[in-house]
Amino acid sequence: MYDETYFCAYRDALWNYVKGPAWYANTITEINFDISVAMGVESSIILNLWMYIIHVLNNAVRDCDSGESVFESLDVALSLWVGFDQEEGTSKGHLLYSITESIEEQFVTNAGQKEARANTKLISLFNEARSLLNADGTCSENDAASLRKNVHSIQSTMMIPLIQSLIHYLLEGDVSYTSLYAYSIVPMIYAHNLDAYRILEILFFGGDISDIQKATQALESSYNALGITCADIGSHLSSVSTCSDDFVSIAGFTPPNKARKVSSKSS
């Protein structure tokens, strides 16, 4: 995984937050197990397992480029997201699908849907990926670029429950879980939006997370670079979101079109 962008971005950023050498997120997960078994388990899911799914998806792209069948990599990635014995549209499960169902209950997204919006979008993207492949699971030359784009969209969608959880625990004032979910998403912002990252680093890892508005604004300013929208995240039930997908400034330039929506479609 040393040549994979997500892994390197997280590893390099996480090394700044722990005392002494750390092997990716293992040190942080061990610390969370010392706090409680529940926190340790959640840490292993949202840090270690999450990144392994990213790795399997990267393998799917490599399989495509090498002329091998992509079906196995896609199936493994989705099964690791959903987990064993998961009830559709409920939090009665064990892995990331369940966490996504549970956290979206705290947000206003698409009311009336049986399944969390992020889970529905993710499964749709996996089905779309399979539809791009030949009958034997290999890629045609013309579809290789489409698969890369699709995998990138999957990886962006995987960030949605992490951001929702960070916002939720921040608003709830739960310092331990806020810190845990900050570890899960702030390193990716390091790779995309350095100004926002520096703000979040000070707030979340400098020992003071009292400025909730400043933290959420820094997060929201990173959505475009992460390939997600304000609508993907939704509004937390306990607050009124001012996040907008219209006319997002990019490097000081304010485009005439709705930048986040266009970026999300092209990511």
pLDDT tens digits for range 197-211: 888 887 777 666 778
pLDDT digits (tens, 9 = 90+) for 150-161: 999 999 999 999
- Return the pLDDT at 267: 47
Summarize the confidence of residues 44-66 as an average pLDDT: 94
Quick check: 155 and 89 in contact, CB under 8 A? no
pLDDT digits over 60-83, tens only? 999 999 999 999 999 999 999 999
Structurally, how many domains does the chain consist of? 1
Specify the higher pLDDT residue, 76 or 225.
76
Look-up of token digits 């700044």:
16
User: With bands split at pLDDT 50, 70 and 90, how would you rate the model's confidence at 17?
Assistant: low
Domain containing 53 equals: 1-267
Mean pLDDT within 14-43: 80
pLDDT in the model for residue 251: 46
Phi first, then psi: give them for residue 253, nearest 5 degrees.
-105, 130
pLDDT (0 to 100) of residue 252: 46
Residue pair 189/200 in contact by the 8 Å Cβ criterion:
yes
- pLDDT mean across residues, the chain: 85
Most confident of 3-17, 36-50, 109-123, 130-144: 36-50
pLDDT in tens, 250-260: 444 445 555 44
Q: What is the pLDDT of residues 95-147, one digit of tens each?
A: 999 999 999 999 976 566 789 999 999 999 999 999 999 999 999 878 899 99
The pLDDT of residue 55: 95
**Mean pLDDT across the stretch 80-92?**
93
Position 19 confidence tier, pLDDT thresholds 50, 70, 90 = low
| pLDDT reported for residue 102 | 95
pLDDT above 90 covers a percentage of the chain that reads: 52
**pLDDT at residue 198, rounded to an integer:** 83
